[in-house]
A and B are shown apart, each in its own frame.
Chain A
Amino acid sequence: MRFVRAIAYCVEEAFVELWRNRLVNLVSIGTIAVSLFILGIFLTVSASLNQLLEGWAGRVQLTLYLEEGLSASDREQLDLVLGNSPELESFQFVSKEDALERFRSYFPELSTLPDLLESNPLPASFEVGVAPDFREPDQVRVVARRLAGLDGVSEVDYDLLWIERLTGIIELVQMIGLTIGSALAIASVFTIFNVIKLTVYGRQEEIGIMRLVGATHAYIRGPFLVEGILQGGLGGGLALGLLYVAHQYLLREALRSVQLLPSDDWLQFVPPPAWAALILGGMFVGLLGSALSVRKFLASPV
């Protein structure tokens, strides 16, 4: 009970101080909010790109072109091998005739071209879907190499270029976000450090009196730490709010206007665990700043 009352005391005092110095405190809350907001922007974009990537990766398909004049038994053999491959999710045989049919439907204006050639130039093939656990570009390459070595397969075709590019972009976005975000987080720690320092200086006499009438060091320090945590938490909350507004009205619009948006739902708002991370991260930054400040400027307990 005593402990609960001590906590209640710290929280109450922290709120009073927060309100009393609201202008200065707005600065530290603002700095934290800006840094977490920027971090959040990058997180949103990279999370969304990731999601987009997953959608694309789901369509990672390899085409195994078969050698001309493959016998039915060879094909059955191939069928068996593909069926026993754990890296594959699905496979489908496309005969020469099917291929021709598709060609004609894709390119109607060229539909007479095969007739001119007298024989069907299109090879038979297997269209193969890669299982979810093997969709990383490196893994896809390994799978492709193995399939290319199979008897009766003349060539394996796949398109990883876009996926690789997007993976690179996501990594870049994350790195920029983390760099800027952590630089700003450090700046926030210093802002809080200085704001708390000002408060400590302003209350030097009061603190002295509290000590003289029997307040422990923890009791004197507590409110400052809680104040830092509150500043950080409020900064985190503010960042989340800004992020929501930015997400709703700016990011989506911007991406829609450059027609980067395949559908409306891919640019997701940061998920709830990230909300918690933003707010907790803010609190941590606040606690760190105030703890350093209190440690430095409230050092003498007598």
Chain B
Amino acid sequence: MIQTFHVYMNYGRDNIALNDVTLEIDRGEFVFLTGPSGAGKTTFLKLIFREEVPSQGQILVNGRNVSAIPEAKIPFLRRNIGVVFQDFKLLPRKTVFENVAFVLRVMGIAKLERKRRAFQILKQVGLHHKMNSYPLQLSGGEQQRVAIARALINEPVLLLADEPTGNLDPELAFEIMSLFQEINARGTTVLVATHDRDLIMRLGKRVILLEKGRVAES
């Protein structure tokens, strides 16, 4: 699903975020990406859905060279990748429903169908009663779950999550992980960046450890 070949990412001359990263994640895998803060976890995720382009090296996602995708096609790549951002990135002036169903709307899906699917996915994260609230009316944990619901609504082939349990208490964190596992069982490849060791231990999945931009363990 994801293959990287000697990927480098520099922000300016002295700021090297990724240093010769070569790795492979198979279709249907569930992988944790871990490492200390500043190790390059977020950068790695950004490269996959092409929020950033690597300074050097190649990245294949679902068989496509991400750097070579023409700009006009990038939205279509992103529609197939669910992303849970560390800072949620919810649209503050849209309701929970509108946020979650945004990608469906962009895809031209009818409102009734959008409602149905949004309700379903929000129910799975336990927020179906807050469809009409605005993000700023929700707690951090709730916003995080909205972000998760948005990432999952289009049944992506790949789910990227950046510290998706950072704002959740352990019980809820575990619930979210169960949800991810469920999604994974249905065929979605899942890549979760986290430094929550407990969570990693509990799930016993493959772990990629990044340290100072290098793959220390895979």
- Could you tell me which A residues sit within 8 Å of B by CB distance? 1-3, 5-6, 9, 20, 206, 208-217, 219, 301-302
* B92 touches which of A3, A6, A206, A212 (Cβ 8 Å): A206
Contacting residue for B103 out of A213, A301, A302, CB 8 A = A213
The complex places the Cα of A1 from the Cα of B110 at a distance, in Å, of: 9
Once A1-B108, A5-B108 are accepted as A-B contacts, the answer to whether A215 and B75 lie under 8 Å apart by CB is yes
The proximity string for B residues 47-84 relative to A, scoring 1 for CB distances below 8 Å and 0 otherwise, is 00111000000000000000000011011101100010
Counting chain B residues whose Cβ lies within 8 A of the other chain, the interface size class is: 20 to 34
The list of the 4 closest CB pairs from A to B, nearest first, reads A2-B108, A214-B79, A214-B78, A216-B75
Query: Could you list some 9 contacts between A and B, CB below 8 A?
Result: A1-B110, A3-B108, A6-B108, A209-B89, A211-B75, A211-B78, A213-B78, A214-B106, A302-B51
Q: Once the chains bind, are B71 and A302 in contact (CB under 8 Å)?
A: yes
- Enumerate chain B residues within 8 angstroms of A212, measured Cβ to Cβ: 49, 51, 78, 83, 85, 89
Task: Compute how far the CA of A70 lies from the CA of B33 in the bound complex, rounded to whole angstroms.
Answer: 118
Contact B71 A210 (CB under 8 A): no
Complex-state Cα separation, A224 to B102, whole angstroms? 18
CA of A249 to CA of B149, assembled, Å: 60
Query: A302 near B74 (CB under 8 angstroms)?
Result: yes
Cα–Cα, bound, A291→B91 (Å): 24
Given known A-B contacts A216-B72, A302-B74, A209 and B91 have beta carbons under 8 A apart: yes
Pick the contact of A219: B74, B106, B150 (CB < 8 A): B106
Distance (whole angstroms) from the CB of B186 to the closest CB of chain A: 20
CA distance A216 to B77 in the complex (A): 11
Chain A residue nearest to B80 in the complex (CB): A214
Please give the distance in Å from B119's CB to the nearest CB on chain A.
19
B102 touches A213 (CB 8 A): yes
Question: B178: shortest Cβ distance to chain A, in Å?
Answer: 24
Bound Cα distance A219, B75 (Å): 10
Q: Given A5-B110, A214-B75, A217-B72, list of 5 further CB < 8 A pairs?
A: A2-B108, A213-B79, A214-B103, A215-B106, A301-B71
